[in-house]
Structure 1
Amino acid sequence: MYHEIKLLSSSFVLFLLFQFSTSTDTITSNQSIKDGDIVISNAKSFALGFFSPDNSTKRYVGIWYYKVSEQTVVWVANRDSPINDTSGILSIDRTGNLVIHDRRQNNIPLWSTNASALSAAAAAANNCSAQLLDSGNLVLFPGDSKRVVAWQSFDYPTNTMLPDMKLGADRRTGLNWFLTSWKSREDPGTGEYSYKMDLSGLPEFFLYKGSDPVWRTGPWNGLRWSGVPAMNPNSIFNVIYVDNDDEVSVIYGIHNASIFSRLMVNETGIVGRLTWHDGGRGWVGFWSSPKDTCDEYNGCGAYGDCDPRNASDFKCTCLPGFEPKSARDWYMRDGSGGCVRKRGRQVCGSGDGFVKVTNAKLPDTLTARADQKLGIKACKELCLSNCSCTAYTNADIRGEGSGCMIWYGELVDTREYTNGGQDLYPNIRSQKRVIKIGGWWQLLQRLSL
């Protein structure tokens, strides 16, 4: 899941590092970075320069880990505008922007930061500078003071999320921080897979192929994304989730700066976290998705419940109180048509009841609403009071649970995990007790509301 990058012939690597590496982490208005020059962050965590992907002669400006033996690029500037030879130059132009030129076509930039926060005075005074930070962030400053940021690479990620980088959306400016895959291992151009936050319902990340959803994380539950059980906080990572009037974002931090870890979406459509291990192990996967057939978005249709433990029979079942819309399709192992409420269970208020589905990935939140002030009992009562309510659960699973999340429409893309999921309470329109037998929910005697 990593990209091995060939900078130049390995027999000359040490020579070139001494010959061309700059002694600073900063690019100034009076300094150009030619192909072969390398800018290194202060603690020597990251390097910036020109590179060629494996099996390619095209040249790109990128950022990679400096201390990792397998050259791993984490950001590419001119990903869709490569240079065909070593004539490229990275510099700060008269407007104060970082630009990439081909020396043979000096007046036509192949790439530019196009920063709007640059002042004419700072540009005229040649006071603009760009610094490669130890976080891997390339930052453009409009003057001598570094309190104002005109542009930063963290706002325009490519296929990799680094620690302290945001993914999400700025509600004020409309800026969306998201990842896009490379086209291939040989081409870092914008690929067909993207990993971005969707705000149509409650915030959650989707993996798309083009415009088609492939997989989603599920909503935030106070500890992690509902559909990523392996993401629980631990001694290595910490997570900051923000959801307010200004933005919705997530930031992953690393407790130990000597640990190199990254989240990426690769060219085959896999999202995953990898951590670097010395001693020949290389990049080791921490978690990745989609992993099994139940990760496929909406593979079992509306009100379907995907359980990979039933794969030898059929992965799709229906949520309690529902039955296959087309028994013939399900017999043919096609669950895309989903499920419908069982006959005789259509009348709202004629005996509503709920069944706890454990270790669930919460349904798509397009029709969901959340209230952090309500407890689980009040959440249940709110669901009972509205005939459109189809399910409820805690919005936050920390401690004994808190908050309320309610669905007012079809329950889509629900699945079960062996462990690590979340409790979900679908409205089954029945007061009978329901248990799961042979992978299917069965109605028994009356249950208590």
Structure 2
Amino acid sequence: MNIDNLAPILPVNKSILMATQGRIDMLVRFSCLLLLLMGSCYSQRDKLRQGEELKDGDELLPSSRKFKLGFFTPPSFSERYIGVWCNNPEDRTLYQYDEVPSRIVVWVANRNSPIIDNSGSLRIDSTDGNLKIFHSGGNPIAITSVEGATNTSVTLEQSGNLVLHELHSNGSIKKMLWQSFDYPTDTLLPGMKLGINLQTGHQWFLRSWLTYYSPAEGSYTFGMDPNLTDRLIIKRHGEVRWTSGLWPNGEFKSWVDRGYNFSYTSNEQEKYFSYSEKDDVTSFPTLQITDDGSLNDDGGFSMLQITDSAICNRGSSHFKVKSGLMSSVDGTKFRESDNMTLYDCGLKCYQNCSCVAYAPTNKGNETGCEIWSRGTKFIKSNTHDSRTIYLEVRKGKSLLQYLDFYDFKSEMHIKITHSIFVGFI
């Protein structure tokens, strides 16, 4: 602004104009500084310290940008989960929180304890140093359960491993207390283990999602054979459905080589399989056990597919957590003395081809299960007598309609296939 050019036109004091110009320049500089400070305040972070929280919509992102941690909702669901998923910086659609494509999710913190709204926040409990999900719907959901440490922090590492550390008084790392790689869900990443810790008895294995849409614990597991430790197996309800073959010469004869450097470690402390990336592989390698027992690679291709006549074909259906009642007050009940987990209850329903809903029951410290059959109507309700019910929903059907589906019979067979996997968007 040239104030000499304005002087003949505006009958004002030149000193006033100069002061005004100075204030404008100062305001511009202050605004730029404020924007820079705001940018630093909202920059990406990979660590959560005590006194900080990760709200629904926030994220942890390591410098490699290969992975993210945050809240997500599977498509057709309303419940919120905290998970780690593969991140593609070139594809901005993967940054959406509300509908993260579920098949790039590699780890779920609260797979059996979803949050019903977006009130959740991830925090370190100041009383015991454990990582917990706080929300408005009930008690905090504990992710870790370590003892004897109150000064802790949690970091999402570049490998996708979420690690809880104990800290010295000066903030430096003292030791690792817990890591998500010891508690995988359905996906194996480089650096994870499949095997057993001989000192503690802890086993490393994958467990599938309950359904294509639900992260809850499913029917299939993938891990090391505890009876014959030099092979990998897929089991359904404890029954072996597939084996990799033995590891006599440093490789699996029946394994389809798609870029995995498998290794086997056996010593007095532990026995396990793990794998690393091959130098000539450009895509990031993962292995996933799916809800139908298939073993998928990172490209979404099914390396191994298992079909079992004992499994009902529920098509595109999935179980959704709802609050309400069933039109038939009493379903088929299993005793609380059986001490059934939510996973056990879901399996009771999933194995029954006429089951459309299930709910856990409680009596003291014991847990049971109740399931309802086809023809029972769900009644949405938020009254005091409402229950948390896992309701089967078929794509395209209203929740308030009578639910129906068919079962599918075929001989159990195992086949190798490269059929393309269609993921969520």
Cα offsets for 1:340-364 (capped at 9, x unmatched): xxxxxxxxxxxxxxxxxxxxxxxxx
Query: Matches of 2:189 and 2:212 in 1, distance apart?
Result: 19
Q: Does 1:111 align with 2:142?
A: yes
Quick check: 1:146 aligned with 2:173?
yes
Question: 1:43, 1:134 within 8 Å by CA — same for their partners in 2?
Answer: yes
- Partner residue in 2 for 1:203: 230
Report how far residue 28 of structure 1 moved: 0.5
Aligned CA distance change for structure 1 residues 97 and 226 (closer, same or farther; 3 Å): same
Corresponding residue to 1:102 among 110, 135, 159: 135
Report the Cα offset of residue 215 of structure 1.
Answer: 0.8
Q: What does residue 422 of structure 1 align with?
A: none
Is 1:216 aligned to 2:239, yes or no? no
Query: Contact 1:241–1:251 (CA<8 Å) still a contact in 2?
Result: yes
Q: 2:380 corresponds to which residue? A: none
Shift of 1:211: 1.5
The equivalent residue for 1:83 is 115
Which residue number in structure 2 is paired with residue 350 of structure 1?
none
- Cα distance in 1 for residues equivalent to 2:239 and 2:69: 34
**For residue 150 of structure 1, what is the amino acid of its counterpart?**
L
Change (3 A) 1:291 1:213: closer
Instruction: Tell me whether 19-28 or 218-227 shows the greater mean CA deviation.
Output: 19-28
**1:42 maps to which residue?**
63
Cα distance between partner residues in 1 of 2:111 and 2:294: 20
CA offsets per residue over residues 165-196 of structure 1, 9 Å max, x none? 11111111111010000011221000111112
Using the TM superposition, give the Cα deviation of residue 240 of structure 1 relative to its aligned residue in structure 2, in angstroms.
2.4
Give, in whole Å, the separation in 1 of the partners of 2:145 and 2:307: 42
Which runs of 5 or more structure 2 residues have no equivalent in the other structure? 1-38, 95-100, 309-413, 417-425
Deviations 1:266-288 (A, max 9, x none): 0111123223xxxxxxx4x2x61
1:170 partner amino acid: N
Give the alignment partner of residue 58 of structure 1, picking from 79, 85, 106: 79
Matches within 5 A, 1:27-426: 27-67=48-88, 69=91, 71=101, 72-94=104-126, 95-105=128-138, 108-116=139-147, 118-119=148-149, 123=150, 127-143=151-167, 144-146=171-173, 148-228=175-255, 230-231=256-257, 236-256=259-279, 259-275=283-299, 283=300, 285=301, 288-290=303-305
Task: Using structure 1 for the length normalisation, give the TM-score.
Answer: 0.53
Cα distance, 1:239–1:204 mapped onto 2, change above 3 Å: closer
Mapped to 2, the partners of 1:251 and 1:189 lie a distance apart of: 25
Secondary structure class of the residue paired with 2:140:
strand
Shift of 1:80: 0.2
Q: 1 CA distance for matches of 2:294 and 2:50?
A: 40
Sort the Cα spacing of 1:85 and 1:169 in 2 relative to 1 into closer, same or farther, 3 A. Answer: same
**Counterparts of 1:20 and 1:162 in 2: how far apart (Å)?**
32
Cα distance, 1:19–1:217 mapped onto 2, change above 3 Å: farther
Alignment partner, residue 445 of structure 1: none
Number of residue pairs the alignment of both structures matches: 257
The CA deviation at 1:84 is 0.6
Query: Counterpart of 1:112 in structure 2: which amino acid?
Result: I
Give the counterpart letter for 1:267 in structure 2. D
CA contact (8 A) 2:260 2:285 kept: no
In 1, distance between residues paired with 2:231 and 2:129? Answer: 37
Cα separation, partners in 2 of 1:74 and 1:98, compared to 1, 3 Å = same
2:346 alignment partner in structure 1: none
- The alpha-carbon deviation at position 24 of structure 1 amounts to 1.2
Q: d(CA) in 2 for partners of 1:20 and 1:91?
A: 19
CA contact (8 A) 1:21 1:40 kept: no
> Residue by residue, what CA displacement relative to the aligned partner does 1:286-316 show, whole Å, maximum 9, x if unpaired?
x6124699xxxxxxxxxxxxxxxxxxxxxxx
Q: d(CA) in 1 for partners of 2:145 and 2:276?
A: 29
Question: Percent same amino acid at aligned positions?
Answer: 33
Q: 3-state SS of the aligned residue for 1:154?
A: helix
Structure 1 pair 258–42 and aligned structure 2 pair: CA distance change class (3 A): farther
- In the TM superposition, what is the alpha-carbon distance from 1:142 to its structure 2 partner? 0.9
2:87 and 2:112 map into 1 onto residues whose CA distance is 24
Q: Is the 8 A contact 2:250 2:263 kept in 1?
A: no
**SS at structure 1 position matched to 2:85:** strand
- Report the alpha carbon displacement of residue 38 of structure 1 after superposing the two structures with TM: 1.0
Cα distance between partner residues in 1 of 2:216 and 2:113: 8
In 2: Cα distance, 1:255 partner to 1:227 partner: 19
Partner amino acid, structure 1, of 2:263: I
